[in-house]
Amino acid sequence: MIRKLAHSIREYKKASILTPILVSVEVIMECIIPFVIAKLVNQIKAGCTLGEIAIYGLILIAMAAISLIFGAAAGSTCATASCGLARNLRKDMFYNIQGYSFENIDKFSTSSLVTRLTTDVTNVQMSYMMIIRTAIRCPLMLIFAFVMAFVMGGKMAFIFLILVPILGLGLFLVIRKAMPLFRKVFKKYDALNNSIQENVKAMRVVKSYVREDYEEKKFGHAAEDVCNDFTKAERILAINNPMMQFCIYTVIAFVLSFGSYTIITSHGLDLDVGQLSALLIYSFMILNSLMMVSMVFVMITMSAESAKRIVEVLDEKSTLSNPENPVYDVPDGSIDFDHVSFKYSKSAKRMALANIDLHIKSGETIGIIGGTGSSKSTLVQLISRLYDVTEGDIKVGGINVKQYDLETLRDQVAMVLQKNILFSGTIKENLRWGNKEATDEEMIHACKLAQADEFISTFPDGYDTYIEQGGANVSGGQKQRLCIARALLKKPKILILDDSTSAVDTKTDALIRKAMREFIPETTKIIIAQRTSSVEDADRIIVMDGGTINGIGNHAELMQNNEIYREIYTSQNKAGDSDEEK
C-alpha cells in the first residue's frame, strides 16, 4: 500500500527528502542552544567581561537564525512535498478512472469516488506532512535532547530512562485502547450523517406523513449513541494530558531536589546552576516530543483508512484492454451475436443475457422492445465492448469486437445512452464531444437530423447557449435530441439509441427516424424504445424478455404471433382504439 502511494511522489521526491534534512539541522540547533546558554550562565556567574558575553550572544543569535531559516525552509518544502503528493494522487486516480471499463465504473458509486479524490486525499496529505516533518523532528529531538541531557546532567539524566518508558507505555496503552473505539464510532458517525441526509432529502415525505416527532426520536437515539461512544473514546485519550504533566512535574521536583543536592555536595563540580536550568529545558523537549510522536501515530492510523480507499482506486485495473495488434478499420455496419451469454459479475447466479444468436445486416434498422429488466440495454452495450461477453462472440463488420482498437470501435459504434448527460459548457462544446474538428455546418446538419436545430435557433445565443451542469436548463426532450445530434457527429457505421427519445413527442420522434432513414441509410440503426410507435417501422423488431429473445419480426408479424408484443402494443393503444370504435 505504501509503495503504491509513494509512487505518486515523483517530482516532489526532492522536497520530500530535503524536508527531513532541513528539519534535522533545525532540531540540532534547537538542542545546542540551551547547552550554549548553560555555558553562558556559568560564565556570567564566574564574572566574565561584556565582550565575552557579546561573543556568546552573537553565536547564539546566529544559531537561532540558522534554526529559523532552516525551520522556515523546511515548512516550505514540506508544504510543496505534501501538496505535491496530493496533486499527483488526485491526478493518478483521475487518470486511472478514465481508463476504467463500465464494469469498473459500476463498482464504485459516484459519491464514493468524489470522496476518495477529495477528503481522502486531504487526509493523506495531512499525514504525509506530519510524517516528513514532525515524525522526523520528534524522534530526532528525543534522541538529541536525551544525549544533551546526559552530557549536561550526567547520572541525573537516568531519571529519563525511567520516565520515558513509563510515559511511552502509558501513551501506547491509551492509543491502543482508544483507536478501536474511534474507528467504531466514526462508522456510526457516518451512519448518523447519512440518516440526516436521508431525512433532508425525504423532507416532503416526513411532512406529508406528519412524522416530525418520530424522526426527532429516531435521531435522538442515534445521536445519543454516537455521543456516548465518542465521549468514551475521548475520555481515554484525555488521560494523555495529565499523564504528561505528571512526568514533567516529577522531573522538575526530582531535578530541583536531587540537582541542588548534587551541586552543593560536589561544590558545583558534578553539576552547576547553568546545567540545572538546561536540564529542565531538555526534559521538556524530551517529554514533549514523545507526546507529539504519539499524536502523529494517531493521525497516521486514522488516515490509514483513507489511504486504503485511495489505493483501491489506483489498484483497480481496467477489465478491458486493447488487443496486441488491433484492427483500425471497421469494414461495415453488420453485427453478429454468436451464442452470446453475459452476466455482470462472476458471482452472479443468473445470466443477464442467455444464449443470444442474432445477425444484423449493415444498414438495417432494428427495434428492440421489452419490459424493464429484460436486458435490452445490456444487449446493445456488448456491441461497442462496454462490457465483454461471458460466453460466445460478437462480430462487427465480420471481425470479433475484441480484435478492434477500442477507440476505433467506439467511434464507429455510436451509442446514445439511456442515462444521458450533457456537460456544463456551450451547446457547441457539447456537440464537439462527437467530433472535435466538426465545422459549424456539420453541427447544424447533425442538429437538423436530430430535430434539435429548430429549438436551438430560438435560444438567444443559438449554438453558443451555455448548458448548465447536467443540462438543467433544457427540457428532457431537448436534452435527448442534443445527445442524438452529438452521436450523429461521429458519423458512425452503427448508431444505437437506448431509449433516447422517451421524452420527445411522437411526431418529432417520427421525424427523427425519417431523417435517419433518408440521410444516413447505410448506417445500421438500433433503436431501443418503450413505445411501440417508435419501432413500428423498423425492418425487424426484437422482443426481449428476461434476458432472452422472445421474438423477432416486423410489426405485422409480431402482432400476429408474439404475445408480449401484442400486450405492450394494446396497453399503449387500447383506449385510442376503443375511442375510434365509438
Partner 1 sequence: MKKNNTPKKHTALRVIKTVFSFYPVMMPVTLICIIINAIVSSIQAVFMQNVIAMVEQSWQSGDWSAVGSQILMLVAVLISFYVFSLISGFAYSQLMAIITQGSLKKMREKMFNNMQRLPIKYFDQNNHGDIMSRYTNDIDALRQMISQSFPQLLISAISTMTILIIMLYFCLWLTLVVLVCVTVMILITKYIGGHSSRYFIRQQRSLGKEEGYIEEIMHGQKVVKVFNHEEESKADFDKINDMLFEESRNANRYSNILMPILMNIGNIMYVIVALVGGILLLTDIPNVSISQMALSISVVVPFLNMSKQFAGNIGQVSMQINSVVMGLAGAERIFELVDEPKEVDNGYVKLVNAKIENGEIKECDEHTGIWAWKHPHQADGTVTYTRLAGDVRLFDVDFEYEENKPVLHNITVYAEPGQKVAFVGATGAGKTTITNLLNRFYDIADGKIRYDGININKIKKADLRRSLGMVLQDTNLFTGTVMDNIRYGNLTATDEECIKAAKLAGAHDFITRLPEGYNTMLSGDGSNLSQGQRQLLSISRAAVADPPVMILDEATSSIDTRTEAIVQRGMDALMKGRTVFVIAHRLSTIKNSDVIMVMDHGRIIERGSHEKLLAERGKYYQLYTGAFELE
Window 119 to 158, contacts with partner 1 (CB under 8 A): 125, 129, 133
Residues 477 to 506 in contact with partner 1, rule: CB under 8 A = 477, 486, 490, 503-506
Q: Are strands 399-400 and 391-396 parallel, antiparallel or unpaired?
A: antiparallel
Tell me the window of 148-156, 220-228, 326-334, 552-560 that interacts with partner 1 (CB under 8 A): 220-228
Q: Which residues contact 243 (CB under 8 A, 6 or more apart)?
A: 167, 170, 171, 174
- Chain center to CA of 375: 30
Question: Which run of H or of E encompasses 538?
Answer: none
Smaller CB separation from partner 1, 169 or 205:
205
Segment lying near partner 1 (by CB under 8 A), choices 32-40, 154-162, 291-299, 330-338: 32-40
Rounded-to-integer distance, Cα 31 and Cα 522, Å: 82
Among 172, 423, 466, 519, binds partner 1 (CB under 8 A): 423
Name which position in 9, 16, 84, 378 contacts partner 1 (CB under 8 A).
84
From residue 180 to residue 219, the character string flagging contacts with partner 1 as x (rule: CB under 8 A) and all else as - is -----------x-xxxxxxxxxxxxxxxxxxxx-xxx--x
Of the pair 161, 196, the CB lying nearest partner 1 is at: 196
- Using the minimum distance from each CB to partner 1, give the nearer residue, 62 or 161: 62
Nearer to partner 1, 251 or 311 (CB): 251
Shortest distance in whole angstroms from residue 339 CB to partner 1: 26
Q: Which is nearer to partner 1, 346 or 419 (CB)?
A: 419
Give the range of 145-153, 246-254, 307-315, 518-526 binding partner 1 by CB under 8 A: 246-254
Please give the residues from 285 up to 304 whose contact with partner 1 meets the rule CB under 8 A. Answer: none
Residues 430-449 that bind partner 1 (CB under 8 A): 433-434, 436
Residues from 362 through 391 that contact partner 1 (CB under 8 A): 371-373, 384, 386
Measured at the alpha carbon of residue 530, what is the angle toward residues 528 and 534, in degrees to the nearest 5?
Answer: 70
> What is the amino acid identity at position 53?
I
Cα distance between residue 452 and residue 449, in whole Å: 8
Q: Which is nearer to partner 1, 256 or 357 (CB)?
A: 256
Give dist(CA 279, CA 563) in Å, integer. Answer: 95
**Segment contacting partner 1 by CB under 8 A, of 141-149, 256-264, 324-332, 546-554:** 256-264
6 binds partner 1 (CB under 8 A): no
235 binds partner 1 (CB under 8 A): yes
d(CA 317, CA 315): 6
Residue from the set 162, 173, 315, 424 that interacts with partner 1 by CB under 8 A: 424
Cβ contacts of 429 within 8 Å, gap of 6 or more: 423
Q: How far is CA 345 from CA 107, 342, 365, in A?
A: 10, 9, 31
How far is Cα of residue 93 from the mean position of the Cα atoms in its chain? Answer: 7
Among 237, 251, 401, 512, interactor with partner 1 by CB under 8 A: 237
Residues in region 41-80 near partner 1 by CB under 8 A: 41, 43-45, 47-50, 53-54, 56-57, 60-61, 63-65, 67-68, 70-72, 74-76, 78-80
* Residue 11 interacts with partner 1 (CB under 8 A): yes or no: no
Q: Which is nearer to partner 1, 2 or 50 (CB)?
A: 50
For the chain, the C-alpha Rg in angstroms (whole number) is 36
Any idea what DSSP says for residue 468? P
Residues 474-478: contacts with CB under 8 Å, at least 24 apart: 474/422, 475/503, 476/503, 477/503, 477/504, 477/505, 477/508, 478/452
SS (H, E, C) 109-169: CHHHHHHHHHHHHHHHHHHHHHHHCHHHHHHHHHHHHHHHHHHHHHHHHHHHHHHHHHHHH
- List the grid coordinates of 208: 406529508
Give the separation between CA 396 and CA 494, rounded to whole angstroms.
Answer: 9
String of contacts with partner 1 for each residue 525-554, x by CB under 8 A = -----x--x---------------------
Task: Tell me how many residues contact partner 1 (CB under 8 A).
Answer: 163
Residues 304-363 that bind partner 1 (CB under 8 A): none
